[in-house]
Amino acid sequence: MNDSQYNLIAEDLLLAVEEAIEECGVDIDYEGVGGLLTLTFKNSTKIIINKQAPLHEIWVATKFNGHHFSFSDDIWTDKRGGGEFWQFLSAAVSKQAETEITLITQ
């Protein structure tokens, strides 16, 4: 994948996360600026999702840990544990929001 392809795919992912947060029914604030998306929860914890363009990765930092995701075969996969991005993010958001949330992409 070249840089242009990565940027399109990564931006689509960040926009999809914003839409999923908006639709999840839980009060989670979010702000996206320049390839960085910050989710802020009622308990003041944050999840930060950001593009790592030189590596063609998406990095996710939660209250509990950090993960690096790479894109292959049309999915973002955790380089450490092999998990899929949306499953990981749903679990992380649920933990920090202190309620069960399943993020659904449109």
Closest to 58 (Cα-Cα) out of 9, 4, 96: 9
Please report the domains of the chain, with CATH numbers, ordered by start residue: 3-97 (3.30.920.10)
Non-local CB neighbours of 101 within 8 Å, separated by 6+ positions: 24, 26, 90, 93, 94
pLDDT (0 to 100) of residue 106: 59
Calpha distance 93→100 (Å, rounded) = 8
The pLDDT confidence band at residue 91, using thresholds 50, 70 and 90, is: very high
> Does the pLDDT at position 104 exceed 90?
no
* Span 6-16, pLDDT tens digits: 999 999 999 99
Which whole number is the average pLDDT over 9-36? 94
